[in-house]
């Protein structure tokens, strides 16, 4: 594998090109087996993709959701969703989409024909209170822990919670987290690709995708939407400074600008899951002021 540029695998057009195509379903199955903990004779061996109605907000360049739907070899339905922004409704929405999947009976059919339904949410932000990046929720008795049925599985994969470690120490799912996070350097990425054939194929597919002018344009438009969001956050900072100047007092100016900067930092850290250090870089906060803002963010 030669040295080459990496792209953002969570970009919706690129993600669907890699993980939502029949000719690359081996990649999708490898990822699904990793997140579902399937191995050996229990591994999923096939997936049939089907088109699903997209969310009404998924158009006109908006930063919104994408889903990939398929039926796998054990008969389960699986919906994979990528969510870049925290709109503070993730838990309810994933239940809603699970419920839509589960309603597959036709008139006269028996309840036994209902298909096991699994939602997998790849999140580019932190959502849950636990420190680890992967969690699965189901129907359990809160007293005994008995599982009522395995027909419901809600998986959350919080990409920003992935912490870099040696590729040799990574388990299967951690390797996929490393791939999605784009946190590895060039040498580590090469080692990751050599350690997992499906990830190597995914990286190769990125570059096939970019050879198409149309696909590359769509990718760049989505990335531009993200940059525009960041620009809007910087605009809030500038507006806060202007408001501070209008107060006519040095204290008012300083307080107004400071609060605007803090608000923008919190937006970037919450909605885009940037670290405090990265958010301050985006807002071009001088290095000699960053320590003070780190303290203010803790209050």
Between 261 and 119, where is the model more confident? 119
Residue 83 shares a structural domain with residue 137: yes
Whether pLDDT at 285 is above 70? yes
Question: In this structure, is residue 220 part of a structural domain?
Answer: no
Residue 127 shares a structural domain with residue 18: yes
Question: In this structure, is residue 217 part of a structural domain?
Answer: no
Number of helical H runs and strand E runs in the chain:
10, 6
Residue 206 shares a structural domain with residue 249: no
Residue 165 shares a structural domain with residue 293: no
Residue 28 shares a structural domain with residue 101: yes
Please tell me the predicted confidence (pLDDT) of residue 111: 92
Cα dihedral 158/67/87/119 (nearest 10): -60
Strands (E), the chain: 47-50, 65-72, 77-83, 117-123, 134-140, 147-158
Question: In this structure, is residue 3 part of a structural domain?
Answer: no
Between 117 and 217, where is the model more confident? 117
Residue 108 shares a structural domain with residue 47: yes
Domain interval for residue 288: 233-297
Highest averaged pLDDT of the listed ranges 10-19, 48-57, 267-276: 10-19
List, for residues 140-151, the tens digit of each pLDDT value. Answer: 999 999 999 999
CA distance 40 to 55: 36
The answer to whether residues 59 and 13 touch, using CB atoms and an 8 Å cutoff, is: no
Residue 200 shares a structural domain with residue 249: no
Please tell me the predicted confidence (pLDDT) of residue 54: 41
> How many separate domains does the chain show?
2
Average pLDDT, the chain: 85
- Could you tell me the pTM of the whole model? 0.74
């Amino acid at each position: 594998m030669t040295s080459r540029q990496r792209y953002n695998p969570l970009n919706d057009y690129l993600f669907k090109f890699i993980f939502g195509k029949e000719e690359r379903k081996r990649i999708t199955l490898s990822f699904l087996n990793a997140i579902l903990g399937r191995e050996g004779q229990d591994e999923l061996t096939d997936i049939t993709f089907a088109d699903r109605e997209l969310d009404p907000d998924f158009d006109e360049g908006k930063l919104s959701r994408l889903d990939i739907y398929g039926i796998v070899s054990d008969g389960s339905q699986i919906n994979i969703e990528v969510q870049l922004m925290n709109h503070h409704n993730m838990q309810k929405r994933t239940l809603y989409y699970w419920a839509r999947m589960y309603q597959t009976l036709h008139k006269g059919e028996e309840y036994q024909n209902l298909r096991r339904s699994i939602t997998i949410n790849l999140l580019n932000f932190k959502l849950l209170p636990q420190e680890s990046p992967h969690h699965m929720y189901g129907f359990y008795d809160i007293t005994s822990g008995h599982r009522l049925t395995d027909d419901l599985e809600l998986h959350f994969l919080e990409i920003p919670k992935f912490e870099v470690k040696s590729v040799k120490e990574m388990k299967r799912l951690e390797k996929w987290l490393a791939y999605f996070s784009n946190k590895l350097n060039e040498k580590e990425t090469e080692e990751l690709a050599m350690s997992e054939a499906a990830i190597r194929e995914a990286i190769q597919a990125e570059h096939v995708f970019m050879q198409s002018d149309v696909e590359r344009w769509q990718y760049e438009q989505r990335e531009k939407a993200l940059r525009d969001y960041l620009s809007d956050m910087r605009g809030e900072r500038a507006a806060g400074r202007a408001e501070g100047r209008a107060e006519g007092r040095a204290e008012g100016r300083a307080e107004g600008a400071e609060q605007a900067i803090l608000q923008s930092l919190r937006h970037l850290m919450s909605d885009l899951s940037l670290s405090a250090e990265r958010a301050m870089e985006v807002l071009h906060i001088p290095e000699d002021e960053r320590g003070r803002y780190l303290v203010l963010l803790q209050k």
